[in-house]
Chains A and B, each alone.
Chain A
Amino acid sequence: MATTRAEVDAILIGVGLVGAILGRELTRAGLRVVGLERGAPRHTVPDFQGPQMHDELRYATRKALMQDNTRETYTFRHTIKDTALPIRRWASFLPGTGLGGSMVHWNGQTFRFQDHDFQQYSHTVARYGKKFIQPDVTIQDWGVTAAELEPHFDRFEYLLGTSGKAGNIKGKKIPGGNIFEDPRSREYPTPPQKEPYGSAIFRKAAEGLGYHAYPQPSCNLSQPYTNPEGLTLNTCTFCGYCERFACEHFAKSTPQTVLLPLLLNDSKFELRTGCQVLHINVDNSGKTATGVTYVDASGKEIELRASLIIVGAYATNNARLLLLSKIGAPYDPETNKGVVGRNYAYQTMSYPQVFYDESININPFMRSGANGTMIADFAGDNFDHGSLGFIGGAYIGEIMTNGRPIGFHPTPPGTPSWGVKWKQAVVRHYNHTSTINVHGSSVATRWNYLDLDPTYKDAWGLPLLRMTFDFPENDIRMSAYCTQKTIEIGKQMGGKLVTGSPRKRPYDITEYQTTHNTGGTIMGADPSTSVVNRYLQSWDVPNVFVIGASNFPQNASYNPTDTVGALAYWSADAIVTKYLKSPGPLMNK
């Protein structure tokens, strides 16, 4: 039987980005908070130190920082007609685990979604008409605007110390920044990082074609920075071990570097690691959560009671936890009813490559996670889609992150995959190749969704999450268009050969693409098509707030973390200024 412990004011499920922000805001508001983290307590010193951190095999190939898939993975299938099978080894996406969550191993790419992303349904209907949206595409509005989120984006970026160049301050467009962005209230906290060689070549080519090149906004900092919490970060050294790794230099903005030292010192906060939450407990009314049941590191099952529950695990795990807790109606694609698991979306990637002459030393190992130069001319709805037959788009950039050779040893098409010719091609091209990212959006559809698997279980005997996903026709067309535009830029970059093909079906979980899994607990204005309201509060159980990329009704062209951080501050603000004064639903059903 579960042991009952004394009640606390609030429980955080997961102590990553969302947990750290909510923990800080709720303790500041006077609440006693317990953070439940399934993984290990991890700190820059001693856990992330060099040179041991610079180990490609351990961290990038064998994925040492990721969710323990031997105990808890997902099952995957393309369509409801297929049988889902477990993802037995991580590849396509890499959820993290442990204190700091996936933000420990992120690259630091820090983008605001645009207002037309937040209003994607109504914006598309207004500009192109309802018929422009393909059948079964279930995009919808988020229930918030970019203007409402701006102060929260601003706060989050100043917490992180993001290095970038504004393209629009209070409505004034600024050349050299992203001129497509919505107005921001002020410049980035720190200037852009240095521009690597391949990125400079891309800039020249893109500008020559009339596009608006700008430095990628980065949380690998360009200079030392002290954030409003009083924590200082260092300058990034371009070591080439960023994504999939933790930073030993205090140069990447993570919960460890921007918040946790304060939170962990706060007497109102208690961190419990090695604690796997099994489910949220709901009372007989079905409308109030009483706490959670978790298994601690020694295997003991414990019930912890609290009046407020913050679900801040990885996106897909947020959806699974609600399904296991029976909070919200599970989505059923056949009836098109229910909400939890609905609108799972991803990212539609392609990677053209430019092969240069041997006189061009690209030095791919001198890179940071979020450096480089890009354009947003083909992101979201920044271009006219009228004659194109799809919605969404991609940012395009020479934003290479590393030259780690197990993963990066490019060869031109037609090269054998082993033997003398392969080896000679690797030697010839390793230091003379640029990869260009085409980072495409992902629409939601009726048939891409998450639910509980009927067969496979985790180490605690609970059903795994089942992912049903393949790339929608809309996104296949988007990728074809944006990849072609990228190849045109690549041809202006002075290479001998430009290669690359757009994303095609079927989705392959054995190929790394991105760790940008979105949806499943989406936000919105209508309880029949969303799990949480605009403040990320459960429609069904109002003392449960669910926060993360699981809130995205569909995914935009940009990386998700900045928008997750802004949503976390937006929700925290609503909890502190509205909910705590009068606990109950913040929106009427």
Chain B
Amino acid sequence: MEKISRRSFLQGAGVAAAAIVAPACDRGTQQLATQRTRYAFFTADEAAFIEAAVERLIPADETGPGALDADVPVFIDRQLAGAWGAGADLYRSGPWRSGKPEQGYQLPFTPAELFRNALRAIGEDLRKAERGSFAKLKAEDQDAYLRTLESKSRDLGGVPSNVFFESLLEITIEGFFSDPVYGGNKNMIGWKLIGFPGAYANFYEFVDQHGIAFKRPPMSLSQDASGTVHLHPVTAPRGAAKETDAKSK
């Protein structure tokens, strides 16, 4: 795999960050965040690819910031470094056979293995083609490369490229829209973009105000608005069951 120095990696990331069109404050914090980021799973080469790729999948544009501003690479890194990346939600007994698409995922790889194999193969592929780092390609060339991965089933270290692309797109959307406690959707960027209120729990007074514009800022799991613990309204005493129907009040 292509060796790049820490310095050139940061330059690559800088190119991606500079290419975005976003409010000045978002841009400023983004550049700082990228430089400070500590990845638990990704190597520097892998991180450079992921940072550039997610920004093509969900780019910053006039509607607002994109996946890089939302720290989606941090989300993906934590997912791959943790239990989910190790296959915590996969049935992992063989034999391993390829089936029909409708039978679902049948590869032996955990998500962490899938990403590692595919990213290694992508790095080698770009190096052989003497195209350099993905992050340094022009945006339209990055898009074209991603479209090739998406539309073909090229072998990326045992992972068909379309399977890798689908996994990358899926986890990018997850990182853009999941609660910020998981490391992505920074400052609830994804939620603000579409107007989703997040973990907020009560719309009883609003649901029949048809068409109301709901403007309250979104809420994350890290904010416990009321600190309330709900108690069962009535704890029936032991053996107190009644045989007759109670009228609802």
Q: CB within 8 Å of B: which residues of A? A: 28, 44-46, 49-52, 54-57, 61-63, 69-70, 73, 76-78, 82-83, 85-91, 158, 161, 189-190, 194-197, 200, 223-241, 248-250, 257, 261-262, 265-266, 360-361, 363, 365-367, 371, 403-406, 409, 417-420, 422-424, 426-427, 430-431, 455-457, 506-510
Contacts and interface: CB of A to CB of B under 8 A. Distances in A.
Interface stretch (B3-11, B116-124, B223-231): B223-231
B236 A57 contact: no
A51 B232 CA distance: 17
B102 interface: yes
Interface stretch (B26-34, B38-46, B129-137, B241-249): B241-249
A88 B231 contact: no
A361 B211 contact: yes
Nearest to A69: B91
B78 to A, nearest CB: 11
Contact of B178 (A61, A189, A236): A61
Interface in B194-235: 194-204, 206-208, 210-214, 219-221, 223-225, 228-235
14 contacts: A50-B228, A52-B221, A61-B178, A85-B97, A85-B104, A194-B208, A232-B233, A232-B234, A250-B232, A262-B240, A424-B63, A430-B194, A431-B194, A510-B104
B2 interface: no
B73 interface: no
A54 B58 contact: no
A141 B195 CA distance: 49
Nearest to B243: A228
Nearest to A154: B245
Given A88-B106, A229-B236, A363 B212 contact: yes
Given A54-B201, A506-B100, A228 B245 contact: yes
Given A57-B179, A61-B174, A70 B61 contact: no
A324 B196 CA distance: 47
Contact of B248 (A28, A90, A224, A457): A224
B114 to A, nearest CB: 12
A230 B194 contact: no
B93 A456 contact: yes
B233 A234 contact: yes
B90 interface: yes
B104 A88 contact: yes
A230 B169 contact: no
A-B complex: 8 closest residue pairs judged by Cβ atoms: A366-B203, A54-B199, A232-B233, A230-B236, A57-B178, A197-B210, A232-B234, A430-B194
Contacts of B179: 55-57
B143 interface: yes
Nearest to A191: B248
Nearest to B58: A423
Contacts of B194: 405, 409, 426-427, 430-431
A166 B167 CA distance: 47
B234 A230 contact: yes
Nearest to B95: A455
Interface of A is mostly: loop
Nearest to A259: B241
B173 interface: yes
Contacts of A266: 238-239
A325 to B, nearest CB: 23
Given A51-B225, A226-B246, A230-B240, A248 B230 contact: yes
Given A190-B248, A226-B249, A427-B193, A418 B100 contact: no
A194 B207 CA distance: 7
Nearest to A360: B211
B115 interface: no
A246 to B, nearest CB: 11
Interface string B79-98: 00000100111111101010
Contacts of A234: 233
Contacts of B12: none
A44 B230 contact: yes
B219 A51 contact: yes
B89 A89 contact: yes
Contacts of B169: 417-418
B204 A238 contact: yes
Contacts of B202: 237-239
Interface residues of B, number: 84
A85 B99 contact: yes
A363 B178 CA distance: 18
A229 B241 contact: yes
B16 to A, nearest CB: 15
Given A91-B104, A427-B193, A240 B182 contact: no
Contacts of B172: 418
A227 B88 CA distance: 40
A457 B205 CA distance: 50
A443 to B, nearest CB: 20
Given A54-B198, A69-B91, A194-B204, 5 more contacts: A45-B232, A69-B89, A230-B236, A238-B204, A409-B194
Contacts of A261: 232, 235-236
B89 A70 contact: yes
A71 to B, nearest CB: 8
Nearest to B204: A237
A545 B63 CA distance: 59
Nearest to B88: A70
B230 A265 contact: no
B208 A195 contact: yes
Given A88-B104, A235-B204, A361 B248 contact: no
A83 B106 CA distance: 13
A73 B91 contact: yes
B191 interface: yes
A62 B87 CA distance: 11
Contacts of A77: 103
Contacts of A88: 90-92, 104-106
Given A87-B104, A423-B61, A430-B196, A406 B93 contact: no
A240 B195 CA distance: 14
Contacts of A427: 63-64, 193-194
A457 to B, nearest CB: 7
B26 to A, nearest CB: 15
Nearest to B220: A51
Nearest to A60: B178
Contact of B143 (A51, A190, A419): A419
A409 B191 CA distance: 11
A150 to B, nearest CB: 15
Given A361-B211, A361-B213, A239 B225 contact: no
